[in-house]
């Protein structure tokens, strides 16, 4: 088996260690004998929905996000919409998450157009939401931990959240939700890297991508003892404060 991972703007949206998610997906796939190809797609490149099984879109600085916004709309919008609507797997973090929505207003008041594929929007806020975060996803009954660092307040309307906030701020510090899920698109503010301490989510993403491509794939289990200890450390420390 083989999967193709598209890394969107790795040269621009890359400051929070989010590239770790790609390294982790590759690592976990290769341990199961699955070949992984990583394709970087950036400025001026055409996005071809048919070529990829997983798309990853990471977080960046406002300066770089302002460079990315018009390029997305000019070169990638239609095909990316088709990709997401067809149920293919997409993981978007922080800046990437914001750009999938209708718009993002920076703290300086600059309004950046998003792709508008998801019915969500983001407003800049004065106070940055920074810290370790713990959420619980009720559908999967899984707990995820990560580190959030954002001034944007994202409102997800009727979409399902990635989880309910147990510790931290989440999407906007108001409604108690973090991230969102639409079809097989997963959005979150979690850095950490996200998948470093949430191996069940990493395998969910791999399984969905493989099922889309090969039908009924079951992944063998891996030794996740380090990942579980890292997660438990955060949960124990942050909930005992």
Partner 1 sequence: MKLSKLLFQGGTNFPGKIALMLDKNILKTVAANYEVILITGTNGKTTTTSMIYSIVKDSNKPVITNNTGANMYTGIVACFILNYSFKKSMEKKIAVIEVDEANLKFVTEYITPSIITITNLFRDQMDRYGEVYTTLRKILIGIAKVEATTLLLNGDESLFGNLNVKNDIVYYGFSTKVNDNKIVDINADAKFCTICKSPYEYNFITYNHLGDFYCTGCGYKRPDLTYSVDKIIDLNTSGSSVHINHKEYYINQPGTYNIYNALCAYSVAKLLGIKDATIEHSLKTVASSFGRQETLNIEGIEVKIILVKNPAGYDEAVNTINLDKSKINLSLLLNDNYADGKDISWIWDVNFERLTSLNINKIMISGIRMYDMAIRLKVAGFSSDSFLLCSDEEALLNEIKTCNGETVYILATYTAMINLRKFLHTKGYINKLW
Query: Which residues are near partner 1 by CB under 8 A?
Result: 10-12, 14-20, 23-24, 27, 40, 43, 61-64, 67, 128, 130-132, 147, 149, 191-193, 196-197, 223, 226-227, 229-230, 233
The shares of helix, strand and coil residues in the chain, as percent rounded to the nearest 5, are: 35, 30, 35
Could you tell me the smallest distance in angstroms from the CB atom of residue 121 to partner 1? 22
Residue with smaller CB distance to partner 1, 111 or 237 = 237
Could you tell me the smallest distance in angstroms from the CB atom of residue 7 to partner 1? 9
Exactly one of 7, 150, 180, 191 is catalytic; which is it?
Answer: 191
Exactly one of 6, 7, 94, 180 is catalytic; which is it?
Answer: 94
182 has which bridge partners? 185
Could you tell me the smallest distance in angstroms from the CB atom of residue 229 to partner 1? 5
Catalytic (active site) residue 94? yes
**Angle, helices 19-31/199-214, rounded to nearest 10 degrees:** 70
Residue with smaller CB distance to partner 1, 12 or 118 = 12
The CA distance from 135 to 161, in Å, is: 10
Q: Between β-strands 142-155 and 163-167, what pairing exists: parallel, antiparallel or unpaired?
A: unpaired
Q: Return the number of other C-beta atoms located less than 10 Å from residue 3's C-beta.
A: 22
Residue with smaller CB distance to partner 1, 60 or 155 = 60
The CA distance from 94 to 191, in Å, is: 8
Residue with smaller CB distance to partner 1, 1 or 228 = 228
Q: Between β-strands 121-137 and 163-167, what pairing exists: parallel, antiparallel or unpaired?
A: antiparallel
Closest CA to 172 of 146, 157, 154: 154
Could you tell me the smallest distance in angstroms from the CB atom of residue 17 to partner 1? 4
The residue whose two tokens read 């070529």 is 51
As annotated, the active-site residues are 94, 191
């Amino acid at each position: 088996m083989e999967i193709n991972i598209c890394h969107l703007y790795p040269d621009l949206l890359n400051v929070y260690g989010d590239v770790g998610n790609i390294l982790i997906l590759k690592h976990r796939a290769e341990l199961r004998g699955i070949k992984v190809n990583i394709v970087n797609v950036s400025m001026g490149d055409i996005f071809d929905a048919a070529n990829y099984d997983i798309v990853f879109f990471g977080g960046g600085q406002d300066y770089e996000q302002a460079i990315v916004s018009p390029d997305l709309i000019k070169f990638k919008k239609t095909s990316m919409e088709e990709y997401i609507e067809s149920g293919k797997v997409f993981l978007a973090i922080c800046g990437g998450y914001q750009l999938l929505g209708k718009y993002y207003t920076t703290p300086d008041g600059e309004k950046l157009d998003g792709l508008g594929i998801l019915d969500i929007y983001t407003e800049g806020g004065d106070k940055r939401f920074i810290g370790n975060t713990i959420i619980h996803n009720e559908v999967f009954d899984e707990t995820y931990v990560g580190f959030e660092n954002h001034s944007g307040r994202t409102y997800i309307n009727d979409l399902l959240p990635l989880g309910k906030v147990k510790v931290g701020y989440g999407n906007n510090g108001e409604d108690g939700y973090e991230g969102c899920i639409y079809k097989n698109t997963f959005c979150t503010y979690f850095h950490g890297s996200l998948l470093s301490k949430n191996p069940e989510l990493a395998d969910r993403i791999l399984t969905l991508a493989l099922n889309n491509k090969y039908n009924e794939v079951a992944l063998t289990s891996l030794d996740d003892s380090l990942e579980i200890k890292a997660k438990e450390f955060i949960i124990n420390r942050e909930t005992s404060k």
